[in-house]
Chain A
Amino acid sequence: MQQTLSRRQLLGGVASGAVAMTAGCQSLGAETGGGSKTVALSQSLTSGDWSMYGGAAPYYSPMHETLTASSHDFSEIEPWLATEWKTVDDTTWEFRLRDDVTFHNGEDLTADVVAQSLSALLADRPLGWAKVTDESFTALDDRTLQIETVARFGALAGTLSHPLFGIQHPSSYERPIGTGPFEAEAVDADSPLETVRFGDYWGDEPQLEELTFEGISDPTTRSTSLQSGDIDASFEIPRQDYELLSANEDIQVRTKREPRAGSAMVNLYNSPTDDADLRRALNYAVDQQAIVESILSGIGAPAKGPYPPMIPWSAHDDLPAYGPNLERARELVEQSAYDGEDVELHVSSDTPHMQLIATRMQERFAEIGVSSTVRQFGRGSFYTTEQRADSNLTLIELGSINGAADYLVRLQFHSEGGDNAALHESEGTGLYNLGPDVDDLIETGDQALDEETKHEAYREVQQRVMEHGVLVPVYYKEYVFGQRANTTVPQMHAVPHMTRWTEFANE
């Protein structure tokens, strides 16, 4: 078979493609307006396995609600779908539910439905840190839900404010069926999540007709999309764009402190950081204020401990600041058994600011005579136990997205916490666990049903952790939220995942 391709055909094809493209440019104009707004997130809510929520992540979105809520400044746990709760005995709790709540499918919220929903969730996802299982939930009557924890656990009410405990109606998981102010008719994987106002919402009526959530992973694209008006609001605007956007009269940009901190976690069981004097020396060397000013563009606050002061049991106010004090750091290096061995700093390739912080730390360590190497890892290997065991300092950002935050202490510093368990079990060591005394304190805090005992125990843990230099605190995080100037401010929350959208609308 033979065919000839004439010049006219070839150029004609190319030209028609170009014309079609130009025509497309002219026809654009998907401007959002009226009762419809689009919010950008760094990750799509419809990517990943969210089958227990009808296919959309329960974070940020206004579709699923929890029994309890964290107040916007993270200071206390408030009623939400549950109006009140009490402990019956050490492991039994009763939650009284609202009587005016309707699901998106028209069914009423009852204790039986909530019990079924949470049981199904726990059967699918064993969220062990919440100390509940799929057998923990029983409806005592239409309005009273009984929850049996597997151990004494004072933080249950706060823990239930975690968005993962959002209530999905158990009759169907084909689409999100929650009780929130917006509902979704359908969810397409890896696509924007489009929600519409739920007319029978029990709370304040949402201002908007439609609210769409877009996943835009590239920070610069999020920022430029906000400037161009392609989106109406965005989380995780790059810090370095704050000044630029502030100067733009079409945009409002604001920051909010999060219950989240950036730290260099120090491996207690790997040479040379198994030496307490060297760990303290590293702490004295770091200048947190300079890091916040230069690397974080002044957005955030210098940290003194692992947890920011907004967490009610944070010991921030009681913790002494180490430095910066290079002279004292040098003395401690002299005093230690340090013999010139390289200190390894591990950072994730996902966090460019941490790479800069690691480099700054490396410079400071050099000034006190400690040589170090910065190693960068993709997220596939950065968080693995194997990798952490080889590190001396691992730079991480960690925070809570539930109102209790208690699980952070156990996760990081208890021998059986997530960070330490594998090595503790296999080698009898761990990473950041100081031993039985601290384990006991964490368990005391974990099990305390009164706030005072809990706070005292957790604060003591933080004191000891800082005394032994188990981490080098760096910053307390603030997130940057940008929105078009013609929109009203949504109810911003210390935990951005918990932002409430009923007030978000046109100015």
Chain B
Amino acid sequence: MHWQYLFRRLTLTAVTLVLVSAVTYSLTGIAPGDPAELVLQKQLGQAPTTEQIEAFRAKHGLDEPIHWQYLHWFGDLLQGDLGQSYYHERSVSELLMDRLPGTVKLAAGGLAVSLAVSLPTGILSARRPQGLADHLSQTIALLGVAMPNFWLGYLLIFAFSLKLGLTPVYGSGTLAHLALPSITLGTGLAAVQTRLLRATLQDTLGAEFVTAARTRGLSEWVVVGKHALRNALLPLLTVVGLQLGFVLNGAVVVEVVFQRPGLGTLLVDAIFDRNYPVVQGVTLLAGVLFVSVNTVTDLAYGLIDPRINVGGDPA
């Protein structure tokens, strides 16, 4: 790894985040709906007066043109201030820090489940193409891709919570609470991973170095596990990095079905409520996480395959 490479990635990340925040701000600004009317309606128990609406807009700078609002927000951001939620007596940073652990745990749980499924099934399928395990894993993978998260979530609740009484229906706090949400989120991820691993591992198993390893008399598990799998893992790692970046999408549905506090529900509620500072905060954080995960993924290539020199000069 070269420090110059890291610096270039960080600079590119910063520019990307500025663009993302500007686009998000513009979109929320032109979306129909007035946060002043919505917030005051909730607080006052009925429609607010024109004066109350104007006072709210002035207090939150909503009476300024959208580009000024954005510049003010950006200026505050540079000082580490993400602003105040319209609906809570709390700062956006505080809300994000409250919700982030829930989403991180869910993402980690989903990833663990997906790898626990995709690695063995992908290897089995690749070793015996068109065999029973292959057909079975392909069918499950197709189901995993095709089935919407919310539906799978309800099915799991029905089976494991209502019928077997093994897990709680909703909530957070213990590993038991994390089990079904992780399976729900992880199944979709596993489906893609399994198909990818099967294809890449099949290619690798046909490579000359694998044949050479076999002729040296190494056991099949050593050939597959030590030699072939390491090569097949690189594309998988890329996909896992991208999947983690997009996990917020799946988290929205999973968090609602299992009533877990997290960034997904925070974002959706903020969009519906026109809670602009929170929308900006979550978008920015999601952007940072996405770019960070993918940078770490790039760096991890070097760890899995030492021949890869991330950011270095071409050989």
Contact = CB atoms under 8 A, between A and B. Distances in A.
A491 interface: no
A30 B172 CA distance: 12
B207 interface: no
Nearest to A8: B225
A352 to B, nearest CB: 14
Interface string A5-47: 1010011001101101111110110100000000000000001
B303 interface: yes
B82 to A, nearest CB: 16
Contact of B98 (A190, A216, A411): A190
Contacts of B50: 421-422, 425
B189 interface: no
B182 to A, nearest CB: 7
Contact of A217 (B32, B182, B256, B273): B256
Contacts of B88: 47-49, 189
B45 A128 contact: no
B31 A419 contact: no
A379 B304 contact: no
Interface stretch (B5-13, B15-23, B154-162, B287-295): B154-162
Contacts of A421: 47, 49-50
Contacts of A224: 154, 157-158, 161-162, 169
B261 interface: yes
A216 B170 CA distance: 8
Interface residues of B, number: 66
Given A24-B175, A379-B273, A385 B87 contact: no
Contacts of B47: 411, 417-419, 421
A18 B190 CA distance: 15
Contact of B32 (A2, A230, A387): A387
Interface string B30-72: 0111100110011111111110100000000000000000000
B112 A7 contact: no
B225 A7 contact: yes
B40 to A, nearest CB: 9
B174 A28 contact: yes
A383 B37 contact: yes
B170 A14 contact: no
A216 B182 CA distance: 19
B99 to A, nearest CB: 8
A129 B40 CA distance: 13
B303 A4 contact: yes
Contacts of A385: 37
B169 A225 contact: yes
B31 A49 contact: no
25 contacts: A1-B1, A4-B303, A5-B304, A7-B225, A14-B116, A15-B116, A22-B179, A24-B174, A24-B175, A25-B176, A27-B175, A47-B87, A49-B43, A126-B44, A127-B45, A189-B88, A190-B261, A214-B171, A378-B33, A378-B271, A380-B271, A381-B32, A386-B32, A419-B47, A421-B50
A407 interface: yes
A51 interface: yes
Interface in A373-389: 377-381, 383-387
B274 interface: yes
B43 A380 contact: no
**7 closest Cβ contacts across the A-B interface?**
A24-B175, A418-B47, A28-B176, A380-B33, A381-B33, A381-B32, A17-B112
B170 A221 contact: yes
Contacts of A417: 47
A296 to B, nearest CB: 23
A228 B162 contact: yes
Interface of B: 1, 31-34, 37-38, 41-50, 52, 87-90, 98-99, 109, 112-113, 115-116, 119, 154, 157-158, 161-162, 165-171, 174-179, 182, 225-226, 229, 256-259, 261, 265, 271-274, 302-304, 306
Contact of A125 (B34, B43, B161, B225): B43
Interface string A379-422: 11101111100000000000001000001000100000111011
Given A21-B175, A27-B176, A28-B167, A128 B49 contact: yes
A379 B49 CA distance: 19
A217 B265 CA distance: 10
Given A24-B179, A27-B176, A418 B303 contact: no
Nearest to B224: A7
B65 to A, nearest CB: 18
Contacts of B113: 18
Nearest to A48: B87
Contacts of B177: 24, 28
Contacts of B33: 378, 380-381, 384, 387
Interface residues of A, number: 66
Contact of A378 (B42, B154, B272): B272
Interface string A106-139: 0000000000000000000111110000000000
Given A27-B175, A225-B169, A228-B169, 20 more contacts: A3-B303, A7-B229, A30-B174, A47-B88, A125-B44, A126-B44, A126-B52, A162-B45, A189-B88, A216-B170, A217-B256, A221-B169, A228-B165, A228-B168, A230-B170, A380-B32, A381-B33, A383-B37, A385-B37, A407-B46
Contact of A218 (B89, B99, B256): B256
A3 B50 CA distance: 64
Indicate the member of B32, B99, B178, B302 with the most A CB atoms within 10 Å: B32
A260 to B, nearest CB: 14
A442 interface: no
Interface string A211-229: 0001111101100110110
A2 B302 contact: yes
Contacts of B170: 216, 221, 225, 230
Given A27-B176, A216-B170, A218-B259, A14 B115 contact: yes
Contacts of B90: 189
A129 B259 contact: no
B182 A384 contact: no
B45 A164 contact: yes
Contacts of A190: 98-99, 261
B72 to A, nearest CB: 22
Nearest to A49: B89
A93 B212 CA distance: 98
Contacts of B274: 380
Nearest to A350: B272
Nearest to A410: B46
A49 B87 contact: yes
Contacts of A189: 88, 90, 98
A421 B52 CA distance: 13
A372 B44 CA distance: 34
Contacts of B157: 221, 224, 228
B215 to A, nearest CB: 21
Interface in A55-100: none
Nearest to A51: B89
